[in-house]
Amino acid sequence: MLIALAVALVPAFVLVPGPLAAGTSGSGFDDRRHLVDSLSSSFVDHWRSGERDLSPDLARAVDHWLHFHVVKAVIAAALLAVLAALGVLLWRAFLRTGGPGAGRGAALATAGAVVTVLGLASSAAVLANVQGAVAPLSSLLSMLPAHSPHGGLADTLDQVGHHLADRPDTGGRTPPAVGVMVGDFARYHLVAAVAALTAAVVLGGLSAVSWRRFAGTGRSDRRTRRVFGSFGLLWALSSAAYAVVAVANASVAADPAPALLAFFEGGW
């Protein structure tokens, strides 16, 4: 049952969010190219309007992207739960076998390792999509063809970059749209920092539990000690990686304009 759910959720994570978001948001974006084309033109129109509020077309694209990330986050969370349960069952079954020398033990160990890696990937997918759902504008802007803009988009990106570069010295002359983008970009990275820190704490706790189980297992039970020791190390390294991500995103959230400028200059 769990294997069937995992097999179904993996392609669903890729195939379902786009069409479902188009339906629930009423955006009508039936494919990625349609969304990108609409985003490019609506972003230019929004900038030229000089208004703080998003233009109707840009708001429609952002709303679609919000629904897209919510759907992906839900599917990724479901997949994470399924993989966690499946992983526990596989590793428990492995500990009851004769070890990796036996054919069944080797198969269980391999399956458990694959499920564990997929679980870590799913956790990263959950965090990334929560980030996109909380700050969909910044997430959506990453789809702008900033590396090779042309026409009105090239002029608009150049103007945005100019205002971002001069922002500390412009005072009240900063266009409202720039303030909105900077604020959303700060929120985008703040959410990532909080989510990554939460993951780091959880994984650190799992590492501590694994090492405690490792220490509490008799030396004669090498297989069990090896499993808990491996998980203790894996969770510790994963926790450290998420901590680095949290610090990096917190630094961007504290001063978002330079990173946003790097994107609009094609270097993000």
Task: Measure the CA–CA gap between 199 and 12, rounded to whole angstroms.
Answer: 24
| Mean pLDDT of successive 10-residue stretches along the chain, which has 268 residues | 92 94 85 87 91 92 96 97 95 78 80 95 96 95 79 86 74 80 95 97 97 90 91 97 97 93 73
**Token pair 């759902």 in the structure block, residue:** 133
Reference 193, options 137, 256, 105, 104; nearest CA is 256
- Identify the pLDDT of residue 153: 85
Domain count, the chain: 1
| Inter-residue contact 188 to 127 (CB < 8 Å) | no
Burial class of residue 70, CB neighbours in 10 A (0-12, 13-18, 19+): buried
- Identify the pLDDT of residue 217: 86
- Identify the pLDDT of residue 30: 77
Task: Measure the CA–CA gap between 181 and 196, rounded to whole angstroms.
Answer: 22
Give the phi and the psi of residue 115 in degrees, each rounded to 5.
Answer: -65, -40
Long-range pairs of 51-58 with CB within 8 A, sequence gap ≥ 24 = 51/176, 51/177, 52/176, 52/177, 52/179, 52/180, 54/137, 54/180
Structural domain harbouring 99? 2-264
